[in-house]
Chains A and B, each alone.
Chain A
Amino acid sequence: NAGVTQTPKFRILKIGQSMTLQCTQDMNHNYMYWYRQDPGMGLKLIYYSVGAGITDKGEVPNGYNVSRSTTEDFPLRLELAAPSQTSVYFCASSSGGSGNTIYFGEGSWLTVV
């Protein structure tokens, strides 16, 4: 019963490097989300998707890109990493919109040095 799976769990990046955080879910959920959590702050929405081929910006999209080629996968791309992107990243999914429970992955700890 995997649910939402994120990789890698931990990563250290140098300033200016790029990387992709992988997210996959096995619940056949249409809706997927990427959040970041900074110390002492709540989670903030980066991007979301309501189905394959459909993505949209959340509250803090700058410096990130996403794609949704399949229902299962929702990778988050960091281009030209900056120290401000040091954070914990959570992927999440739900079966639909309003009223549906959102399930979270275990998080990916990213440090940019």
Chain B
Amino acid sequence: AQSVSQHNHHVILSEAASLELGCNYSYGGTVNLFWYVQYPGQHLQLLLKYFSGDPLVKGIKGFEAEFIKSKFSFNLRKPSVQWSDTAEYFCAVSSGGYNKLIFGAGTRLAVHP
């Protein structure tokens, strides 16, 4: 069965620090990869997605992620975080035709001013 691992459950950063959140998945076939963000009290929103092509994907709000097939990884990065980035971040993978997502456990990011 597919699974998704997020390495950090809680991350605390100061504003302007750089961010990298790890994500690994366990599936050898063709996958689609996603990062979703959940701001406090809000629903999940898509940050970025990878289906094919350039393994470096740029998303909204200055986020980017790099797909490294040999490492089964899809790490999320942002060069300089803001207080407004405080949220929970979920990595997810789908394969097959029905677009069913398998989620990681999430990483709670707290950014201090």
A-to-B contact residues, CB < 8 Å: 4, 31, 33, 35, 40-45, 48, 50, 56, 58, 90, 94, 96-102, 104-107
Please report the number of residue pairs spanning A and B whose Cβ atoms sit closer than 8 angstroms: 66
Closest residue of chain B to A101 (Cβ to Cβ) is: B46
Query: Which residues of A lie under 8 Å from residue B106 when comparing CB positions?
Result: 40-42
Query: Which residues of A lie under 8 Å from residue B36 when comparing CB positions?
Result: 104
Query: Which residues of A lie under 8 Å from residue B46 when comparing CB positions?
Result: 101-102
B101, A102: Cβ atoms closer than 8 Å: yes
B-to-A contact residues, CB < 8 Å: 4, 9, 32, 36, 42-46, 49, 51, 90, 92, 94-106
Query: Which residues of A lie under 8 Å from residue B103 when comparing CB positions?
Result: 35, 42-44
A99, B51: Cβ atoms closer than 8 Å: yes
Query: Which residues of B lie under 8 Å from residue A35 when comparing CB positions?
Result: 101, 103
Given A42-B90, A101-B49: A58 touches B100 (CB 8 Å cut-off):
yes
Closest residue of chain B to A97 (Cβ to Cβ) is: B97
Closest residue of chain A to B51 (Cβ to Cβ) is: A99
Q: How far is the CA of A42 from the CA of B44 in the complex (A)?
A: 12
* Most B CB within 10 A of own CB, among A4, A33, A100, A102: A102
B44, A98: Cβ atoms closer than 8 Å: no
Closest residue of chain A to B42 (Cβ to Cβ) is: A106
Chain A min CB distance to B103 (Å): 3
Chain A min CB distance to B101 (Å): 7
Chain A min CB distance to B26 (Å): 14
Can you offer 8 A-B residue contacts whose CB atoms are under 8 A?
A4-B43, A35-B103, A41-B105, A45-B101, A48-B100, A98-B51, A101-B46, A104-B44
Query: Which residues of A lie under 8 Å from residue B49 when comparing CB positions?
Result: 101
Chain A min CB distance to B112 (Å): 22
